[in-house]
Amino acid sequence: MSSKRSETAALVKKQRSNAGSNASKGYSRRTASSGMEQSVFRFKDVNFVVGSGKKQRNLLSDITGKVRYGHVLAVMGPSGAGKTTLISALTLDAFYGKPSGKVTLNGVKLTDSVFKQHCYVMKQHDKHWPYLTCRETLQYAAELYNVSAKKDIPLVVEEIIQKMGLSVCSETRCARLSGGQQRRLSIGVALLKQPTLLFLDEPTSGLDAAAAENIMQEIVRVAKEERLIIMCSIHQPSTKVYNGFDEVMILSKGREAFSGPIKTAPTYFDSIGYPIPEQMNPAEHFLDLVNSDFSSPEEVDRILNEWEETNPNRAGSVHGTDNDDDGQKGIAAGLHRNPCTDMMIMFRRHARLIVRDPVLYVGRCIIILVTNVVFGFVYWSARVQEQAQAPNKHFINIWFAGVATNMGVVAVYALNDEFKSILRESKNGMVSPMSYVIAKSVMVLPVIYLTSLFALIIPGFVIQQFPWSSIVPGTLLWSALFFCFENLAECLAVWIDDPIIGMLQFMNFWFMCFLFSGNFLNSEIMYWPFELFYHILPFSYYLRSATYTYLHDIEWDKCVGGPSAGQPICVPSGDPTEVLNSMTFIYSVVDAEDHYLRDIIVILGIAGVFKIVYLIGVFYKTRRVAAIK
């Protein structure tokens, strides 16, 4: 293992030396070859308004700035100043209000498509696939971004691992990475894309001083080396980190207190009567000035007004001219993607996640098996062919499917988390929603069938002695119902942002299915609006056909004396059709006729409706943009 590592390291070294002065030949070619290496990012008069009428609030007021390639713009300000709001607005992600202004990359309006091709946003909170290792995360990102020929990808990944100081945790699953390692991994993934413009929201949040300093130094170095434009928000950088920035923007109450090249900041603050005290960190001094906790609100307002007055045409003064021609004009075609290759990568990644994630399927399979085995033993006496056991045989079907589908509630949580990762990846142009839904939907089908085997083989066919002739229709019917609830879970996971609310809705739906299954309440005596639920919810279809499937050719023992209080089912001939007919009097859902095909089609139809609503949710949410108008 270690010799393989050193071999890889040697190859990386060789590759670097081949690349001459450019240390990162493996993944740095795109920007240069696309002609985007001299880019300029501008934003002018960016406003962001929330609420309406008397409750209207300007979270950002006329924010203007410009950053050139190889430069880092640091957005600083006290808590609540609007740093995250600015990054969200500029990344077309601020959905909770109305953003306005002019935002361009090389003079071209920043649209979702330009963003996906040339930009990358690293949010304040890291989000990685918890069951993939650091190396696997980078490997899939490199493949999805098509950074290099497939055979070179391990080298590219190794290079990023070394660059980001992730060697010690390269084989560690993301769930177990420290905060600093997660941040560095996020930056590594961003670098793999080689964006022209990189947004970092609080890249040092949650890190200790040394780790924050390391990361910021790395960011500054990367901007210079890879000619990236970097815009990051940051809380109180150290003097060393602060001095590494090229431009700085100081915000307070959603307004600019200063914006421009870092070397002009001391002169400006000196000119308005706030020179930097000796030995003081300049960043700390500026932030104290605009923080109402340290300066009076009137003084903060005075500083903000001063900037507004001395820079009435900010785009024309501190931020350079209003003319967009001082950089590369226009943008190049972006990433070339092959949908089939994308799909294959997504298949591989999803297969790995399905196997490793205990919540989604593996854990549930085992819990369903154990639970159903318990039910199998609880109903031990129902194994025999006595007609007195017919109701118990029917109830076994309710528990075998009802409890298992109820466990789908955990899928709502897991899928909500999964979808949030997909949203981020889609935002950054790493995955296409289409390849995600296809890979996921196809991969899940065999897993669902496998789950039905866990649910029924030992508990039903071995312990409860279901007739083996019904194994195929029985497991297919169970799979159809489970598929229906999985699709519901997907739907809720995508449409309801808060997973807990989604889980509660899932439980509501499940209880409705149970209540209106026609088993506890005769469908004929249901008050008519409620009868609709009996027809449109899936459980009655499952239960009718499951009981028919397992009971319709049982050779029942003969019964004498007719039905009684202790034995409601007692057919003298033991004819299975007549037994089912007499069960119908007690459980209206039971039917002596075969409706298997119709029932399974209806269940799949309901599942199909959920799938369509889910797909609409995926495509709507991944394409939703808070465009700046």
Burial label for 130, CB within 10 Å (0-12, 13-18, 19+), is: middle
| Residue closer to ligand ATP (CB basis): 50 or 476 | 50
Give the nearest distance from C-beta 86 to ligand ATP in angstroms: 7
Among 71, 83, 193, 393, binds ligand ATP (CB under 6 A): 83
Q: Of 352 and 624, which has the nearer Cβ to ligand ATP?
A: 624
| DSSP string covering 190-230 | HHHH--SEEEEESTTTT--HHHHHHHHHHHHHHHHHHT-EE
Q: With CB under 6 A as the contact rule, which of the stretches 72-80, 115-123, 161-169, 446-454 interacts with ligand ATP?
A: 72-80
Residue 487: alpha-carbon gap to chain centroid: 17
With CB under 6 A as the contact rule, the residue among 65, 70, 77, 203 that binds ligand ATP is 77
Q: Are 81 and 252 in contact (CB under 8 A)?
A: yes
Minimum Å gap between C-beta 253 and ligand ATP is 8
- Asked if residue 130 binds ligand ATP (CB under 6 A), the reply is no
Q: Does 260 bind ligand ATP (CB under 6 A)?
A: no
Instruction: Give ∠ CA 60-202-138 in degrees, rounded to 5.
Output: 130
* C-beta closer to ligand ATP: residue 81 or 121: 81
Question: Which residue's CB is nearer to ligand ATP, number 51 or number 330?
Answer: 51
Contact (CB, 8 A) for 295 and 305: no
Nearer to ligand ATP among residue 56 and residue 239 (C-beta): 56
Q: In the complex, what is the shortest distance from the CB of residue 58 to ligand ATP, in angstroms, rounded to a whole number?
A: 10
CB atoms within 10 A of CB 271: 11
237 binds ligand ATP (CB under 6 A): no
Stretch that binds ligand ATP, among 78-86, 319-327, 373-381, 402-410 (CB under 6 A): 78-86
Among residues 198, 233, 269, which one has the least CA distance to residue 83?
233
Pairing of strands 40-50, 98-105: antiparallel
- 84 near ligand ATP (CB under 6 A): yes
Instruction: Give the interface segment with ligand ATP, choosing from 33-41, 61-69, 82-90, 268-276 (CB under 6 A).
Output: 82-90
What one-character-per-residue DSSP string does 574-588 give?
--HHHHHHHHHHH-T
Query: Binding ligand ATP by CB under 6 A: which of 81, 455, 570, 602?
Result: 81
- Confirm or reject binding of residue 71 to ligand ATP (CB under 6 A): no
Task: Count interface residues toward ligand ATP (CB under 6 A).
Answer: 12
We find the least distance from the C-beta atom of residue 245 to ligand ATP, in angstroms, to be 17
The yes or no reply on residue 291 touching ligand ATP (CB under 6 A) is no
**Alpha carbon separation from 111 to 128, 221, 331, 366 (Å, rounded):** 26, 28, 12, 47
The only residue of 26, 65, 82, 99 in contact with ligand ATP, by rule CB under 6 A: 82
Q: Is 203 in the site for ligand ATP (CB under 6 A)?
A: no
Measured CA to CA, the distance from residue 115 to residue 428 in angstroms comes to 7
CA angle 558, 562, 566 (to 5 degrees): 100
CB-nearer residue toward ligand ATP: 204 or 582? 204
Non-local (6+) Cβ contacts of 410 within 8 A are 359, 364
**Residue 206 touching ligand ATP (CB under 6 A):** no
CA 574-592-575 angle, to 5 degrees, is 15
Q: Is 96 in the site for ligand ATP (CB under 6 A)?
A: yes
Check residue 59 for interaction with ligand ATP (CB under 6 A).
Answer: yes
Which of 77, 188 has the CB closer to ligand ATP? 77
d(CA 582, CA 573): 13
Q: Is 50 in the site for ligand ATP (CB under 6 A)?
A: yes
- In whole angstroms, the minimum distance from the beta carbon of 83 to ligand ATP comes to 4
**101 three-class SS:** strand
Measured from the CB atom, the residue of 251 and 559 that comes closer to ligand ATP is 251
354, 346 Cβ separation under 8 angstroms: no
When asked if residue 79 is in the footprint of ligand ATP (CB under 6 A), the reply is yes
- Site of interaction with ligand ATP (CB under 6 A): 50, 59, 77, 79-85, 96, 235
